[in-house]
Amino acid sequence: MFSIRPFLVLGLTLLGLPASSRSQGFTDPAPPEVIPAPAVAPPTEATTFPGLTFHAAPKPLPEGAVTADWPRFLGPTDDAKTPETHLLERFPEGGLKKVWEMKTGNSYTSPTIVAGRMVVFHRLGDEEVIQCLDPESGKRFWSHAYPSTYRDRYGFNDGPRASAVIADGRVFTLGAESVLSCLDLASGTKLWQRKLAEEFDRLPYFFGHGCAPIVHTDKVIVPLGTSDGLSVAAFDVATGKLAWGTKHTWQAGYASPVITKLHGKERLLVFAGDDSDPPVGGLMAIDPENGALLDAFPWRPDKYESVNGSTPLPVGDDRVFLSASYDKGGVLLKFTAEDKWEELWRNPEFGLHWATPLRLGGDLYGFHGRNEPDALFKSIEVASGKENWSADPEFTTPGPGGRDYRMKYFRGSLLQADGRSWALGEFGTLGILKLTPAGFEEIDRVQLFLARATWSLPVLHRGLLYIAQHEEDMEGNPPRLICYDLRK
């Protein structure tokens, strides 16, 4: 059903890195027009809008509670952890209390929140829409939209896959068709915008452009993949001009890049790999100042219709854990003093499809498996890759019409906050867990709704929990963003 593109085959078996791979040499084909932020005062009062339902004000923020912003989809430290405290220890009788909810369009994104402003990125009709809301009321400050004609070739929804990024008073979004936008957070003014697929002859993707950008110093960095080998591109945050490019044959995957320190030096980690035949991809270590490629470690399932979607997880001053589904599994890499990747161990039975594993102490926790039925809840030891335990928790939950449904967490997501773990199952189950190398204890569990494709990590900010329901639920509720009160 798929055509083979011979031009992709050239160089796809590249495992080493000749000296020429360190040179960038890319020119910007179409620098964008820059629009200055307005001199007028931005909106300070948010207003209601169709599709917003306010249920009840949350409890006051407890005295002494620690809070943190949520600028990217994996949280303040890019590892599904937040320092927030004073959260519920168990769920109230009757379930979590809703503060507000809004109907959303198509997307697989979650909100981001900085300085009292929440940004939601989704698709309504034939437009990708960026909205700025008050996170405690759901009311809207501003909205910005642009056309989108994206259609998912596998029948998944046609909205954006990458959550917005907020940095230094700017909002950055990357749409499914590779539209990179920079907006002013206060006013919603479009400062600049680029159509990367048209400007750079971007290679095709299975599911659209799906990795969130990352902002580092004065650059916004985007995994790309073009016919002339522009694998990763950095753009000046103020002007949108190409600042540097990393040359490689690998194209963007669905894992978002991260910045970490290896041997005391800042390094950009990009886990690449999408629509190529034969399938190729892996982990690149890049100098974020100039785009120089230091080393690339191949790690990609052998199946053509496969992707790399789990964000790399630094686990020490020189080590990174990498995971892929489709029978590939996990691998622990060491970054040597000579700037080279060295494999320490691999475990084919710890392959997360898109979620990032949760690291607690010297152990990793996550939901292994490609599909819903074969997903297992597992823990492995970081030092050795040895499996600590494997579980397949099952429970029943009431549904419409009084029917009970047999449920699991399936390919769930894990969030760490306030000394415990919060598991969101892909059918809308939320659990409070205690995780140890000896096993797990389910402290409490609630069924928020019954809907497929609950794939985005929950967002936690000032004791309020935000869950993105990406598909219609069994009671007929459309896709929604729901704010729950998690304050103690």
The answer to the question of residue 203 being in a domain is no
Report the length, in residues, of the chain. 488
* pLDDT attached to residue 13: 35
Same domain, 77 and 132: yes
Cα 307 from Cα 126, distance rounded (Å): 26
Render pLDDT for 85-136 as a digit per residue (tens, 0 to 9). 999 999 999 999 999 999 999 999 999 999 999 999 999 999 999 999 999 9
Domain end, chosen from 311, 333, 353, is at: 353
Same domain, 413 and 302: no
* pLDDT attached to residue 19: 35
* pLDDT attached to residue 468: 98
The answer to the question of residue 52 being in a domain is yes
* pLDDT attached to residue 22: 37
The answer to the question of residue 16 being in a domain is no
Cα 468 from Cα 432, distance rounded (Å): 18
Cα 383 from Cα 13, distance rounded (Å): 30
- CA quadruple 245, 256, 478, 103: dihedral positive or negative? negative
The 10 Å Cβ neighbour count of residue 350 is: 23
The answer to the question of residue 20 being in a domain is no
Render pLDDT for 240-276 as a digit per residue (tens, 0 to 9). 999 999 999 999 999 999 999 999 999 999 999 999 9
Number of separate domains in the chain: 3
The answer to the question of residue 160 being in a domain is yes
Same domain, 228 and 145: no
Cα 169 from Cα 103, distance rounded (Å): 26
* pLDDT attached to residue 7: 33
Of 433, 395, 436, the closest CA to residue 416 belongs to: 433
Same domain, 59 and 186: yes
CATH code of the domain in which 443 resides: 2.40.10
* pLDDT attached to residue 10: 35
Same domain, 348 and 417: no
Same domain, 58 and 182: yes
Task: Find out whether 330 and 323 touch, Cβ atoms under 8 Å.
Answer: yes
Domain end, chosen from 336, 353, 370, is at: 353
Give the CA-trace dihedral at 302, 280, 259, 324, to 10 degrees.
-10
Of 414, 382, 237, 385, the closest CA to residue 311 belongs to: 414
What DSSP string describes 71-138?
-STTTTTTSSB----SB-SSPPTTSPPEEEEEE--B-S---EEETTEEEEEEEETTEEEEEEE-TTT-
* pLDDT attached to residue 6: 34
Q: Which stretches in the chain have pLDDT values below 50?
A: 1-23
Same domain, 135 and 189: yes
* pLDDT attached to residue 41: 79
Which residues, at least 6 apart from 272, have a Cβ–Cβ distance to it below 8 Å?
223, 225, 231, 232, 248, 250, 251, 252, 253, 281, 282, 283, 284, 308
Of 320, 324, 228, the closest CA to residue 272 belongs to: 324
Cα 322–326–327 angle (5° rounding)? 80
Same domain, 334 and 247: yes
Same domain, 177 and 76: yes
CATH code of the domain in which 345 resides: 2.40.128.630
Cα 175 from Cα 130, distance rounded (Å): 10
Q: Tokens 């909810």 belong to which residue?
A: 101
The answer to the question of residue 297 being in a domain is yes
Provide the CB-side half-sphere exposure for 107 (13 A, CA): 32
Whole-prediction pTM: 0.94
Residue-range definition of the domain harbouring residue 425: 361-454
CATH code of the domain in which 110 resides: 2.40.10.480
Domain end, chosen from 353, 375, 408, is at: 353
Same domain, 233 and 322: yes
Same domain, 474 and 382: no
Spatial strand order of the sheet with 459-461 comes to: 52-54, 98-103, 480-485, 464-469, 459-461
Cα 461 from Cα 208, distance rounded (Å): 29
Give the phi and the psi of residue 257 in degrees, each rounded to 5.
-70, 155
Same domain, 442 and 465: no
Give the phi and the psi of residue 9 in degrees, each rounded to 5.
-70, -30
The answer to the question of residue 8 being in a domain is no
The answer to the question of residue 475 being in a domain is yes
